[in-house]
Amino acid sequence: MHAKNECGDGEFIITRHFKLPRQLMFDAFTKSEHMHQWWGPKGSKVIKAELDLRPGGMNFYGLQMPDGSSMWGKSIYREIVPPERLVYVQSFSDEAGNITRHPMSPTWPPEMLTVITFEETGEGTQLSIHWSPLNATEEERKTFNAAMSGMHQGWTGSLDQLEQYLAEIKQ
C-alpha cells in the first residue's frame, strides 16, 4: 500500500494503491452493504446508507459519531462508469436530506465536487479521489484550502478502514 496526497489551490487529491481487484474497489463505494462497514471518519458508524446508483440518483447516509451525535450527508451522482469512475456532488444534510452547512465549520462550501477513479494496475487498483468546492464563495474556498491537512487525515482514516474491511472479506 502507498498513499500520496497532493494539495493544489482549490483541489484536494489523495491517491492510494490497494492490492485488490478494481471491481471490488468500485463495489465498496457503490453498494450499501459494503459502505456500512467502512464509510466515514474513524470511530463513526453508518446508521443509514441509501444508494440510488444512476446519474441524478443519490447516496443518502447518516453517521453516528464517537461522541454519540449524528452527521448526515448526501451525494448526487453526475457520472457513473463501472468500474472506472464516479463523479458526484457531496453535501452535508439534515436527517430529511436538505442541504446544510458543515456542523463544525459554518464557512465550509455547501457543495463539493468529488471525482473518484479506479485504475487497474498490474498489482491491484490505484484509487484517486479529487475533491473541490463547487459554486463556492471566496470565503468558502479559503476555508477549504486551509483545511487540506484535516482532509488528508480524514480521508486517510476512512481509507484505512476500507482497506481493513476489504482485507477481511478477501480472506
Give the CATH number for residue 165: 3.30.530.20
* Total structural domains within the chain: 1
Asked whether residue 171 carries a pLDDT value surpassing 80, the answer given is no
C-alpha separations of 128 from 41, 52, 56, 63, 67 in Å: 18, 22, 22, 23, 30
pTM of the model: 0.91
pLDDT digits (tens, 9 = 90+) for 119-166: 999 899 999 999 999 999 999 999 999 999 999 999 999 999 999 999
Asked whether residue 1 carries a pLDDT value surpassing 50, the answer given is no
pLDDT score recorded for residue 3: 44
Residues spanned by the domain of 20: 3-170
pLDDT digits (tens, 9 = 90+) for 34-71: 999 999 988 899 999 999 999 999 999 999 999 999 99
Rounded to an integer, the average pLDDT of 22-34 is: 95
pLDDT score recorded for residue 6: 44
